[in-house]
Chains A and B, each alone.
Chain A
């Protein structure tokens, strides 16, 4: 993301800058540091120091009850990691996180792509429809999860009422509390809530595509599918790739959506929920921090693999 907004223009500034000597550049450099300092301070105090602290907690036996008695430099041990990695449920929780992340990421991007393509051509009311597409993403997560749990309620929910009336279901299906459907339902929710995000980015890219290549392909007799497959899609890959990374990271760390829908029950316990449960229910700070670190490290490794793989695929055609 960062590199995308790097302006070439800034470097191409008028050459007079260089000639005017160092004083202006030095003054600018000092101003730059002064202007960025408040932000760096906040981020350091609220983000960087806590992260370092998490690492320290992960290597210590700290519980919420004996918190005041444990110093910052207590005994360091690997016990938390051993306990966490060998504990029942951590492996399956990691697998659940993967399925949830891949399903949510790929699904939301695919849905966003399809809707963006469908709304590509101008027609009356398109602006309004585009706005409506953003509703699931904009509304507070607590409100939409409450809406979904109500809609899916087996007794008085809309979906189950319609299912029984029109689809001949025998009884209401407890979508969010039975393990055969809970994870799939949570993934569908994820797709529903975040397809607007992909839709926004892809729509922006589609709007900036030069029309002449497509027109030429049309003139040369390429069918609509061919025009999509060989002209439009290749130009969308960069933005899809950025979206994939962003959504993958966000979904992998996701806590609130799953927590609010199922509380982590019925086979939907992603690692973030385990971290929360260890922290709040058990008050086991050490084990909680160790799991959070394993989660973060897994993500970092996956990102390294992804960037390596995408670099390699850039070298070969398509």
Chain B
């Protein structure tokens, strides 16, 4: 196929299909229509469920039970009271989502902070410096990234039970740090790779030490990427469920948003519409964060794909 690149461009595109319904014309037409069918179908299955989530959060449960198939609620039924009820503390007759949000925020922020503190120097070292064991370390991170979390769950559950750390938010954050540091290093390393080495060498020639090179040249250049990596780590911590379930389930006042929603949706006492308001409340922050960081994030995650 590659030899074709030099083919002369003389034959006009239309000359391929001079007589009406050639195979080319049929396929072009079929794919042309099929493309839009795919796009519309994909939009329906991705957007409608979230729209449904939002609609349910606005309708009273009685109405939903009566007319379950309605996607266009009457203006008169719309009210936002579910949001108040889901956010208020249990003492005030609510579901305590405000507290869950606070817990998730604490865990996620600790995770982001320490993951970045470890991953920035770590990824720089892997991207730039030759040292013994570089390959081993690199392989180790890949293995951690791909390892079944279930295997970690058993010893960590055991250790935390012995140490009395179950129910502790910083202890949970520690587990998240260990799990996100690998992917953070992978992403950051890709960014450091794109900074031309000559820039750093110029600084070295001018008498900068390695640490000055990092803090004055590389880090400022990589700052947008550091931000998007941080946001990605935040999303992972915010969305995590298994370890939150293992370590926090007995302490309602320590539940994270994911754990809180899953525990409450298991009980029949809380109306579905109220929990849908809860779902909206916990989903909006990650979606906003994602779209803030989208471009840099997607580039960082798929860096390998573009190179083939």
Q: Which residues of A contact B (CB under 8 A)?
A: 1-2, 4-5, 7, 9-10, 13-14, 24-25, 27-33, 35-36, 38-40, 42-43, 45-51, 53-54, 57, 64, 67-68, 114-115, 117-119, 121, 129, 131-136, 138-151, 155-158, 160-162, 165, 192, 200-202, 204-205, 207-208, 212-213, 216-221, 223-225, 230-231, 235, 238-239, 242, 246, 249, 252-253, 255-256, 260, 272, 275-276, 279-280, 285, 288-289, 292-293, 295-296, 299
Contacts and interface: CB of A to CB of B under 8 A. Distances in A.
Contact of B152 (A47, A149, A161): A47
Contact of B148 (A10, A38, A205, A292): A292
A135 B211 CA distance: 40
Contacts, number: 343
B43 interface: yes
A255 B287 contact: no
A133 B186 contact: no
Given A29-B129, A36-B122, A141 B155 contact: no
B153 A141 contact: no
Contact of A47 (B5, B147, B283, B294): B147
Contact of A115 (B42, B133, B262, B307): B42
Interface of B: 1-2, 4-5, 7, 9, 11, 13, 16, 23-24, 27-28, 31, 34-36, 38-39, 42-43, 45-47, 49-50, 52-53, 56, 64-65, 68-69, 71, 117-119, 121-122, 124-134, 137-142, 144, 146-159, 161-162, 174-175, 177-179, 181-182, 185-186, 189-190, 193, 197-198, 201, 204, 210-211, 235, 238-239, 241-242, 246, 257-259, 261-262, 265, 272, 275-276, 279, 282-283, 286-287, 290-291, 294, 298-299, 301-308
B43 to A, nearest CB: 6
B1 A141 contact: no
A67 B129 contact: no
B197 A9 contact: yes
A4 B307 contact: yes
B125 A31 contact: yes
A67 B162 contact: yes
- Chain B interface mostly helix, strand, loop or mixed? helix
- Chain A interface mostly helix, strand, loop or mixed? helix
A157 B68 contact: yes
A32 B125 contact: yes
B134 A139 contact: no
26 contacts: A7-B193, A9-B193, A10-B193, A36-B121, A36-B126, A42-B118, A42-B178, A43-B182, A48-B140, A50-B159, A54-B151, A118-B42, A138-B235, A138-B290, A147-B50, A156-B64, A200-B301, A201-B301, A202-B305, A204-B306, A207-B306, A218-B13, A223-B24, A289-B154, A292-B151, A299-B148
A162 B2 CA distance: 51
B95 to A, nearest CB: 13
Nearest to A41: B118
B174 A296 contact: no
Given A10-B127, A139-B287, A158-B68, A219 B38 contact: no
Contacts of B265: 142, 146, 149
A22 B214 CA distance: 21
Nearest to A252: B148
A189 B298 CA distance: 23
B242 A146 contact: no
A255 B286 contact: no
A141 B240 CA distance: 8
B1 A25 contact: no
A279 to B, nearest CB: 6
Nearest to A49: B155
Contact of B156 (A30, A50, A144, A201): A50
B156 to A, nearest CB: 6
Chain A CB count within 10 A is highest, among B140, B291, B308, for B308
